[in-house]
Homo-oligomer: A and B are copies of this chain.
């Protein structure tokens, strides 16, 4: 029942094992041989590729093997009636196909692979002795082979492989397709990288497209002299930029819903989680459900337990938030203010440069340590979406780092010249540098690893052959490429954290000081068009294929952007007051009062607009409702009979 007549086997997973340099003793069971045999036994197609110093097992699986594994995992998949049901291989036609025609999405496939690979256990009655390079160890009954081998250091890495045909196609259509500007082949990105990456690029594309409007406005403002109306231009710009951002966010949420509907992913809008992590032991937190499992317990007791659990969790969260926020305020704030103050005071440019260098050096460690501490704190909370929490708190760190200096110049010193200087400096330098580093650093890392591998090889061969050593195998090259990992630690987030962080910091920079430096929008728009290509290039060429994650929204970043919008209403109001009240006399009179009223109206619009335009387009909602009612109607009767038949009577005592 092979559904897809694929001409060519696509290897999707790579396993790195050491090259067995003792070639003679083939007859004894080397553990790599055992691994390969076991992998073949579960139905995987294994190709062994010998690299310079390691051997690579490339794995592929026919659809049926994946399907059976999915059924065993009790994976839930959307069906044609719209409801998520447990996958069954026999009923494969009932399940929705991916936009590209395959049965499983990349995310699901990866999950199945992991289940298959890590599901190889010793099913015999006795422990099996494996050996490698002469060292013997024991594969216990019921133990996972791969975990054993990983802990022995024999399996160095299991990583997803690039699919070369698809990658080249994406490279052509996406990374090198400069003429499309903000248009991207989102569906293809989705089927190659999974939802989380696709959602990021969809967001980036949308954001950049929308950015063109305020950029054009700012550009016109710069060029045209409005004569006697000049005084009103800045307030108009402020209002229109805020409205722009509010509209953009609400419409992004709608776009997000529409994308998910297109990809046939079921999610509920209000729930807001949409976070499932794959391939990691995610639900290791103790929930009261587990605690009470098996124990016969009355409803009241259970409710109390839940309430205790809920409020305890909230207390923990509150404590952690307090620790982190306090340490940001007590440790980071003085440091940042000291830097800003010194920068303001010091006269010579050379000294300023030195100061900035020292500052950047220190702050990098500071944020990294801070980020790691917050991630650690959060990991012990009972959160449903730890990722979101971590993102928010770490953003707090970066927020302080990026903006406190600017606030200092803008609000305390009213030094608009320095403010603009700092803004330009940050926008241009940081973003150009970032883009360079983003691609350059991985490339250098890759080059270094390659160089080291070749040197090692040479050392081993010891001049036996003096010709230049080349990498023949694509898989080894991929193995040497860096991973797509976050700067704050790999446990919670992948590299998207840094990409989103960059976007959020940029957004804050241009929005919060919009009135001081409208041209920032032009820089940002240009930068984002670049960003799309460089990020695409990075993912396609520079890095290993990332492990797919199934997040269906932009998560905490949505809240962070909303927060920045609110902040920017307040800061821009303050900036306007500062600008028009140049004598510093703090007269309220028409000016200040008007600005205050405007601020309040904008805040009202910000919070009211989401009520006006819902996050879910009507057609998505109608679809969802129809699906639900259809499913309910279909199973209503069967369910009823099974409830009243199979279940113990839960009726009240009045049933006589």
Which A residues are within 8 Å of any B CB, using their own CB? Answer: 3-5, 76, 79-81, 83-86, 88, 91-94, 96-97, 101, 268-271, 288-289, 302-303, 306-307, 309-310, 314, 559, 566, 570, 586-589, 592, 596, 600, 603-604, 607, 611-613, 617-619, 622, 626, 631-644, 647, 649-652, 654-656
Are A306 and B622 within 8 A (Cβ)? yes
Are A655 and B586 within 8 A (Cβ)? no
Residues of chain B within 8 A (CB-CB) of A307 are 617-619
Residues of chain B within 8 A (CB-CB) of A268 are 268, 270
Residues of chain B within 8 A (CB-CB) of A80 are 643, 647, 650
In the assembled complex, the Cα of A288 lies from the Cα of B623 at a distance in Å of 12
In the assembled complex, the Cα of A644 lies from the Cα of B651 at a distance in Å of 36
Are B635 and A93 within 8 A (Cβ)? no
With known contacts A622-B306, A634-B639, A651–B93 Cβ distance under 8 A: yes
Residue of B with least CB distance to A599: B600
Are B640 and A302 within 8 A (Cβ)? no
Residues of chain B within 8 A (CB-CB) of A5 are 656
Name the distance in Å between A619's Cβ and chain B's nearest Cβ.
3
29 contacts between A and B (CB under 8 A): A4-B654, A76-B632, A79-B639, A80-B647, A85-B636, A86-B633, A86-B636, A86-B640, A88-B640, A91-B643, A93-B644, A94-B640, A94-B644, A101-B654, A268-B268, A268-B270, A270-B270, A302-B619, A306-B617, A306-B622, A307-B619, A570-B600, A588-B588, A596-B596, A607-B607, A634-B639, A634-B643, A635-B638, A635-B639
Name the distance in Å between A386's Cβ and chain B's nearest Cβ.
16
Task: For A651, give its contact among B97, B622, B636, B651 (CB under 8 Å).
Answer: B97
Name the distance in Å between A260's Cβ and chain B's nearest Cβ.
14
Residues of chain B within 8 A (CB-CB) of A86 are 632-633, 636-637, 640
Residues of chain B within 8 A (CB-CB) of A97 are 651-652, 654-655
Residues of chain B within 8 A (CB-CB) of A619 are 302-303, 306-307, 310
Are A644 and B270 within 8 A (Cβ)? no
Residues of chain B within 8 A (CB-CB) of A589 are 586
Residues of chain B within 8 A (CB-CB) of A650 are 80, 96
In the assembled complex, the Cα of A632 lies from the Cα of B266 at a distance in Å of 14
A-B interface, 10 closest residue pairs, ranked by CB to CB distance from nearest: A270-B270, A101-B654, A306-B619, A586-B588, A310-B618, A635-B635, A94-B644, A94-B643, A91-B640, A93-B644
Task: For A612, give its contact among B81, B88, B314 (CB under 8 Å).
Answer: B314
Identical subunits present: 2
Are A79 and B643 within 8 A (Cβ)? yes
Name the distance in Å between A298's Cβ and chain B's nearest Cβ.
13
Residues of chain B within 8 A (CB-CB) of A92 are 644
Name the distance in Å between A364's Cβ and chain B's nearest Cβ.
30
Are A642 and B647 within 8 A (Cβ)? no
Name the distance in Å between A266's Cβ and chain B's nearest Cβ.
11
Residues of chain B within 8 A (CB-CB) of A288 are 622
Are B632 and A85 within 8 A (Cβ)? yes
Residue of B with least CB distance to A614: B310
Interface of A is mostly: helix
In the assembled complex, the Cα of A642 lies from the Cα of B612 at a distance in Å of 40
Residues of chain B within 8 A (CB-CB) of A642 are 634-635
Residues of chain B within 8 A (CB-CB) of A612 are 314
Residues of chain B within 8 A (CB-CB) of A617 are 306-307, 310
Task: For A81, give its contact among B269, B603, B618, B639 (CB under 8 Å).
Answer: B639
Residues of chain B within 8 A (CB-CB) of A306 are 617-619, 622
Residues of chain B within 8 A (CB-CB) of A652 are 97, 101
Residues of chain B within 8 A (CB-CB) of A651 are 93, 97
Name the distance in Å between A606's Cβ and chain B's nearest Cβ.
9
Please give 11 more A-B residue pairs, beta carbons under 8 A apart, in addition to A85-B639, A306-B619.
Answer: A4-B654, A84-B632, A91-B641, A91-B644, A97-B655, A288-B622, A314-B612, A586-B587, A588-B592, A635-B638, A635-B642
| Most chain B CB neighbours (cut-off 10 Å) among A85, A587, A626, A637 | A85
| Most chain B CB neighbours (cut-off 10 Å) among A76, A94, A307 | A94
Are B613 and A314 within 8 A (Cβ)? yes
Name the distance in Å between A562's Cβ and chain B's nearest Cβ.
9
Are A3 and B309 within 8 A (Cβ)? no
In the assembled complex, the Cα of A600 lies from the Cα of B607 at a distance in Å of 14
Are B310 and A3 within 8 A (Cβ)? no
In the assembled complex, the Cα of A310 lies from the Cα of B93 at a distance in Å of 33
Residues of chain B within 8 A (CB-CB) of A84 are 632
| Most chain B CB neighbours (cut-off 10 Å) among A76, A618, A631 | A618
In the assembled complex, the Cα of A619 lies from the Cα of B302 at a distance in Å of 8
| Most chain B CB neighbours (cut-off 10 Å) among A596, A635, A637 | A635
Name the distance in Å between A102's Cβ and chain B's nearest Cβ.
8
Residue of B with least CB distance to A635: B635
Are B622 and A631 within 8 A (Cβ)? no
In the assembled complex, the Cα of A79 lies from the Cα of B302 at a distance in Å of 20
Name the distance in Å between A302's Cβ and chain B's nearest Cβ.
7
Residues of chain B within 8 A (CB-CB) of A634 are 639, 642-643
In the assembled complex, the Cα of A654 lies from the Cα of B588 at a distance in Å of 70
Residues of chain B within 8 A (CB-CB) of A559 are 611
In the assembled complex, the Cα of A650 lies from the Cα of B82 at a distance in Å of 12
Residue of B with least CB distance to A596: B596
Residue of B with least CB distance to A574: B596
Task: For A270, give its contact among B3, B76, B269, B637 (CB under 8 Å).
Answer: B269
In the assembled complex, the Cα of A326 lies from the Cα of B16 at a distance in Å of 71
Name the distance in Å between A652's Cβ and chain B's nearest Cβ.
5
Residues of chain B within 8 A (CB-CB) of A101 are 652, 654-655
In the assembled complex, the Cα of A593 lies from the Cα of B622 at a distance in Å of 49
| Most chain B CB neighbours (cut-off 10 Å) among A96, A270, A271, A612 | A270
In the assembled complex, the Cα of A638 lies from the Cα of B642 at a distance in Å of 11
Residue of B with least CB distance to A646: B634
